[in-house]
Structure 1
Amino acid sequence: MLIGSTFVQVGATRDGLDAYLDAAHRRGMTAVLVETPDYLRWRSALGRRPYDIGIAVDQPANTDALVAALRDLPAPALILAGFERYVASAYGAADILGSRPSGQSPQFQAPYKLGQRSAVSQTCAQIRQPRHATVTALGDLQAATAGLAFPVVVKPDNGGGGLGVYVAYEAANLAAIRTVLESVRNYDGGPFSGWIAEEYVPGVELSVQAVARDGKAIILTTCEKLTAVEAEPNGVGSFRESGHVARPGAEADPSLLSFVEACLGAVGYRTGPFHIDLIQTPDGELVLLEMGFRLSGMRVSELVTAVSGLDWAEEAFAAHLGTAHNGATARSAASYAGQLTLRQPSEVQAAQALPSAGGTRVDLQLFTAPSLPDEWDDVLPVTLRSDIGRHSGAMGRVVVSGDNPRTVTEVLHRCRMP
C-alpha cells in the first residue's frame, strides 16, 4: 500500500463515476484532479465529489503546462488520464516526472487515431482497417476523399466522445461537413490536430474493455454498441453512441484476443487500462476503428462491474502499481447487462413502461439538468461549448440485466427513437 503517496488524474470523467478517486483512496493516496478552470467550476455545479486537491490549468493537453502545474506537488506515484483529450499529456508528464506508468510502458507515446492507424499498418498488416485518408486542413477534405468509396466518415484525429464525427453519404455532403467542422473546437476549446476520413464499414460495432499487463490483455467485457446518426439542420448526419450491451470477457473468441494483443503490440502499450472499438463485418471479419488508453466513458465501467464482477479502475491501479489481478475472486452480479441513454421524452416514456420480468431486470434513472452559473446563461465559455454540447442534455438512463444478451438488447431497442 502506498500510504501518503500522490495520484494525479488529468481530466475529469464526464460520466461522473470518479472510479480512480475511489481506487486512490482505498490505498491511502492523495487524489489530485487537474482540469481547466471553467471545467472545475462546471464540475462543482454538477455536484461531483471533490478530490483532495484540484489544480486549474488553462491547457491540460499541453505537457509542459501540465508538468509546470505539478512541480510543487510531491512526486506523483501515478499519473493517469480521466478523459480522452488528456491521454497524451498525462503520459508525457509521467515520463518527465518519473511517475508511473512511464517505467512500465517506456515505448508508449499515446498516439491518437492517425498515429494508431500508422503504427498498426506498419507492424500488423494482418489487422484490417477501413480505407482512410489523412486530412491536415479542412480545405483539403474534398481532395483527400477522392479515392474513397462513399459513405465516408469524417472525424477529428484527437477528438473523443463522438465529437465532430460526421457521415457523408456522397461527395456533395462534404461541403456542409466542412462548414460544420470549421466551427467545432476540441474539448477545452483547443484545436484539432487534424482529421481522418474513412470508408464506412457495415457490420456490428463492438468495443473491448480490458487491462494490459506486460503486453498481455485481460479482457473484462466486450460490448455491442448501440449507435445512432442524428440529422442536423444543415442536412449532415452526426454519430452518437447511445448505449452498450456487455458480455463477460470469458466469452471472447480467441481470435478477438489475438486481434487485441496485436493492436497493443503495434502501439507499444504494455500496462494499464484500455478499450478498443472495432467492427465485426457480416462475414465475421474484425476491423479496427480506434483505441483508447483509459477507462471508457458513458458509465461503461458500471457494466464492466455488473458483468465481470471486477472494478475496472481497481484493475488499472493494480496493473500500474504491480499488485495482483483480482480475476480469481470476481463475482458477477448479472450474466449480461446493457444501458441506453435517454434523450427524448418518448424514450423516457417507453423506458417507464418496461417490465422487470422473465429473468430480466430493468432500472430507470432520471436526470435533472444542473443550473448554469448566471453569467453563462447567454454565452458559454469557449472551453466548455463542446463538452456541454456532447455530454449534457440526457433525460435519463435505462439499465437492463439478464441471462440472455439478445433479450437485453431487444428490451433496450424498445426505448430507442426510430
Structure 2
Amino acid sequence: MSSRPVPTYLVLNRFDDEFGEYHRFVDPDSCRLVYLTRDYGLTVLDTEHALETVVVPDLELETVLPLAKELSERHGGFDGIVGISEWDLLTVAQLREELGVPGWRPEFVNRFRDKPRMKELVSGAGLRAPRFLELHAASTAEEVLGQVGLPIIVKPRSGAASQGVLRVDDRERLAAVLGEIDPAGYQCEEFIEGDVLHVDGVRRDSRFHFVSASAYVNNCLEFADGTPLGSVLLDEGAERDEVVAFAGACLDALGLADGPFHLELFRSAAGELVFLEVGLRPGGAEVGFIHRDLFGVDLFAESFRAALGLPPFHSPGEFVSAPGGGWVSIPEPRPLPSRIVSRTSLVDVIDEVYDEVLPEVGSVLDGSGGYEHIGGRFRLRGEGHDAVRRAALEVMDRYRLVAEPAERPGAPS
C-alpha cells in the first residue's frame, strides 16, 4: 500500500489509441499514475503529468516485476495495479500478489483465462457448457473421442481471438493434432452447432451497471481463417432478455461482482443457450468504439475504475439507448505478408456505415494485426437488428481490398 495521502496506481499499457488515455478515467489531482508501457503506446499517455513513465520491451512478468518493485520503493508503494488488456490480466494479478497490493489475485483471474476452469464453474452451477476434456501427455484420440466425440474443437487453455483454435472432424486429423501440440496447454471441447452471440458490459455489486447483447455474423474461428467477421446488437425484447439473463447467471457462477466482461455463448440449433467462454475485459474489435458512440459508455474507463475499486465512471442514467448498431472486421488479405494496393471507402456509400478504419496504401500486413491492423474496420448504426445485419452483409460484399504478396523482412531476395 502507498504511504502517501494521494493514491498511487501502477498502469501496464499496450494500447496506442484513446482507450489508453488513462488520465481521462480519473479526476485530475485525485491520484498519481505510474506507467510501464510499450514504446508505441507513449503517444496516448499523459506523460507530462505522470509520476513516472518507463518504456519496456515487453510486458512479461519477468520484465516488469523487478521494475515494479523499484518503482514501488521509489514512490512509497502502490494502492492499485491495473492492466486492461487480456494479455496483461494475469501479469497484473501476479504483481499485486508479489507487492501486496489489493485487487484481483491470480486464482480469480484464472477463472476468466483458463477455459476448463470457467466451464467447470459454469456447468457446476447447472448451466449448459460444452463437454470438454483437459489434455495431458498420454491423451489419445480414442480417449478424446470417447469422452467428447466429433466434430471437436481443440483450443489453448488460455488465449483470445481464436488463436491456435482448430476444428477437427475425423479421428486421423485428431491424432495428428494431438501429436503436434503441447497437450498441457490445450483442451478439447464439444463442437456446438448454432449461432454465436456475445454479451458485453460492466458489473457493480453483482448487478449489471451496463450490458449489451449482440449476435455475430460469421464467427471468430472463421475470421482467423480469413472470413470477414461482423456483429450486430440484438433488439430489445424477449430474446435479448433471455441472453442477458443467461450471461448474468454465468457471471454469478464465476463470482464476478465488480468488473468488466466479454462473454460469448451459443444458441444451439435446438434453441438452447450454451456458455462458450468469457474474458475479464472489454470486448475487442470495434466493441469499445460502438459502445462509446451508440450508448455513451466507455467500457475501458469503467473497466479501469472497477479494477482499482473506484466508483463507476458514469451512472446508468447517463447512458443513452441505441436503436441498432454493429461492426464489421475484414481480415488481413492472404497470402501473408501482403502489401495494400487499394481499398474502397464505404462511408457515404452504405447508409449505416458511420465510420471506418482502412489500411494505408503501401502498408504491409503480416498476420499479426489481431482485430486492429487488418484489412478494414467498419462501424455501423441503423434502425434495428435486421437493418444493421443487412448492412453488415453488404459491407462484406461491396468492400474491395486489393493486395499483393510482400516479402517477409530478412527473406532472401
- Runs of at least 5 residues in structure 2 that lack an aligned partner in the other structure: 48-52, 335-339, 399-413
* Structure 2 residue identity aligned to 1:366: L
Q: Is the 8 A contact 1:130 1:201 kept in 2?
A: yes
Contact 1:207 1:222 in 2 (8 A): yes
- Structure 2 residue corresponding to 1:276, chosen from 263, 269, 272: 263
Structure-1 residue corresponding to 2:310: 321
Asked if 1:204 is matched to 2:195, the reply is yes
Q: Which residue of 2 aligns with 1:404?
A: 384
CA distance in 2, matches of 1:241, 1:216: 34
Residues 24-63 of structure 1 mapped to structure 2, 5 A cutoff: 24=25, 26-28=27-29, 29-34=31-36, 40-41=38-39, 43=40, 48-50=43-45, 52=47, 53-56=53-56, 60-61=60-61
Kindly tell me: are residues 177 and 193 of structure 1, through their superposed partners in 2, closer, same or farther at Cα, counting changes over 3 Å? closer
Work out which of the residue numbers 364, 374, 386 in structure 1 matches 2:356: 364
Match of 1:216 in 2: 207
The one-letter amino acid paired with 2:359 is: F
Alpha-carbon distance in structure 2 between the residues aligned to 1:61 and 1:239: 32
Match of 1:352 among 330, 341, 346: 346
In the aligned structure 1, how far is the partner of 2:251 from the partner of 2:70?
Answer: 31
What SS class does the counterpart of residue 198 from structure 2 fall into? strand
Give the length in aligned residue pairs.
Answer: 376
* 1:71 equivalenced with 2:63 (yes/no): no
> Paired residue for 1:343?
331
Question: What is the aligned partner in structure 1 of residue 122 from structure 2?
Answer: 120
Q: Structure 1 residue 227 and structure 2 residue 226: aligned?
A: no
Query: How much has 1:330 moved relative to structure 2?
Result: 1.7
Name the structure 1 match of 2:404: none
Question: For the structure 1 residues 324 and 371, does the alpha-carbon distance in structure 2 shift closer, same or farther, using more than 3 Å as the test?
Answer: closer
Higher relative contact order at CA 8 Å, sep ≥6: structure 1 or structure 2? Answer: 1
Provide the C-alpha distance between the structure 2 equivalents of 1:250 and 1:97, rounded to a whole number of angstroms: 47
How far off is 1:24 after superposition? 3.6
Partner of residue 81, structure 1: 83
Mark the CA change 1:367 to 1:180 in structure 2 (over 3 Å): closer, same or farther. Answer: farther
CA distance in 1: counterparts of 2:333 and 2:347, whole angstroms: 13
Identity of aligned residues (%): 22
Deviations 1:196-226 (A, max 9, x none): 2111111111111111212223342112123
SS of the equivalent of 1:278 reads strand
Residues in 1 aligned to 2:66 and 2:344: alpha-carbon distance in whole angstroms? 47
Match of 1:131 in 2: 131
Cα shift at 1:118: 2.0
- 8 Å Cα contact 2:353/2:378 also seen in 1: no
Matched, 1:296 2:276: no
Contact 2:69 2:99 in 1 (8 A): no
Distance (Å, rounded) in 1 between the aligned partners of 2:354 and 2:382: 9
Q: How many angstroms does 1:98 deviate by? A: 4.7
Q: Is the 8 A contact 2:194 2:266 kept in 1?
A: yes
Please name the residue that 2:160 is paired with.
160
1:413 equivalent to 2:393? Answer yes
Mapped contact 1:279–1:287 kept (Cα < 8 A) = yes
- In the alignment, the residues of structure 2 paired with residue 312 and residue 218 of structure 1 have an alpha-carbon distance, to the nearest angstrom, of 11
Distance 1:268 1:65 in 2: 31
2: CA distance between counterparts of 1:82 and 1:211?
13
Q: Which amino acid aligns with 1:110?
A: N
Report SS of the residue matched to 1:264: helix
- How far residue 240 of structure 1 moved from its aligned partner, in angstroms, is 7.2
Equivalent position SS for 1:160: coil
Q: Deviations over 1:307-334 (max 9, x none)?
A: 32211123334543035751112234x4
Task: Tell me if structure 2 keeps the 8 A contact 1:158–1:193.
Answer: no
Q: Report SS of the residue matched to 1:140.
A: coil
User: How far has the Cα of 1:290 moved from its partner?
Assistant: 0.9
- For residues 2-21 of structure 1, the aligned pairs below 5 Å read 5-13=7-15, 16-19=17-20, 21=22
The alignment status of 1:395 with 2:389, answered yes or no, reads no
Shift of 1:3: 9.6
Is the contact made by 1:351 and 1:398 (CA closer than 8 Å) also made in structure 2? no
1:380 alignment partner in structure 2? none
Superposed displacement of residue 181, structure 1: 4.7
**Is the 8 Å Cα contact of residues 164 and 238 (structure 1) preserved in structure 2?**
no
1:264 correspondence with 2:251: yes
Rounded to whole Å, the distance in 2 between the matches of 1:11 and 1:393 is 18
Secondary structure (helix, strand or coil) at the match of 1:159 reads coil
Distance apart, 1:287 and its partner CA: 0.7
In structure 1, distance between residues paired with 2:313 and 2:331: 40
TM-aligned CA deviation for residue 107 of structure 1: 7.9
Structure 1 portions without partners, runs of 5+: 183-191, 378-384
- TM-score by length of structure 1 reads 0.74
1:311 aligns with 2:311: no
